[in-house]
Amino acid sequence: MSARVEPVSTPARTGVWVGIAAITLMFAAFTGAMVVRRTEADWLHFRLPPILYVNTLVLLASSAALERSRARLEAGTQWLAFTLGLGLLFVLGQILAWRNLATQGLFLATSPSSAFFYVFTAVHGTHLLGGIAALAYVLGRARRAHGFAGALGAAALYWHFLTALWLGLLLLLTLQL
């Protein structure tokens, strides 16, 4: 084992890819249900709360910060902490978006359109909380020891996927609601 080669993939990375496949399928199922349900007469069209666009920028910024943090591993973990903060900010923003809808009288059971909005954002948010937990774990490890690049890589892959997923969902919601 003298000529050590960087492995093609680590279990963590494979695991994240498999997880990405599962999450994508899950949202595909929700989307399928939405497409079927949308043809009914009780579908109510409404405007998305504007704060969603701000949230989107926050999430994009968090992905950028994460990449910056990976590029400067030696320089410390402040960019990683910053990513984490932006992630929390996004979740907060999503909650504000819900409150905005609620003040408009759009609740979960109001219309299938609002129901799908809540379901999509809630499920995405739950997965994002998982991502925040993963980042926090990496941050904790980074503070204690070295050799966290693999874990950070896997967590980053997951995080970027959630950002991309959110962009897709936003597009879907904009087009369908």
Residue 144 three-state SS: helix
For the CA atoms of 103, 107, 113, 115, the dihedral, rounded to the nearest 10 degrees, stands at 140
Binding mask 51-90 for other proteins (x = CB under 8 A): ----------------------------------------
Judged by CB under 8 A, does residue 112 bind other proteins?
yes
Note whether 164 and 170 are within 8 A (CB).
no
Residue closer to other proteins, measured from CB, 79 or 148: 148
Pinpoint the alpha helices (H) of 72-111.
Answer: 78-103
CB 9 → other proteins: shortest distance, Å? 6
Judged by CB under 8 A, does residue 19 bind other proteins?
yes
Please name the residues in contact with 97: beta carbons below 8 A apart, sequence gap of 6 or more.
Answer: 48, 49, 51, 52, 55, 121
Q: Which stretch binds other proteins (CB under 8 A): 19-27, 49-57, 67-75, 136-144?
A: 19-27
Amino acid at 82: F
Judged by CB under 8 A, does residue 130 bind other proteins?
no
Instruction: Tell me how far apart the alpha carbons of residues 75 and 122 are, in angstroms, rounded to a whole number.
Output: 35
**DSSP string computed for 16-74:** HHHHHHHHHHHHHHHHHHHHHHHTSTT----PPPTHHHHHHHHHHHHHHHHHHHHHTGG
Judged by CB under 8 A, does residue 145 bind other proteins?
no
CB 60 → other proteins: shortest distance, Å? 26
Of positions 54, 60, 88, 123, contacts other proteins by CB under 8 A: 123
Judged by CB under 8 A, does residue 18 bind other proteins?
yes
Residue closer to other proteins, measured from CB, 88 or 108: 108
Sites of contact with other proteins (CB under 8 A): 1, 4-5, 7-11, 14-15, 18-19, 21-23, 25-30, 32-33, 36-37, 40-43, 108-109, 112, 115, 119, 123, 150
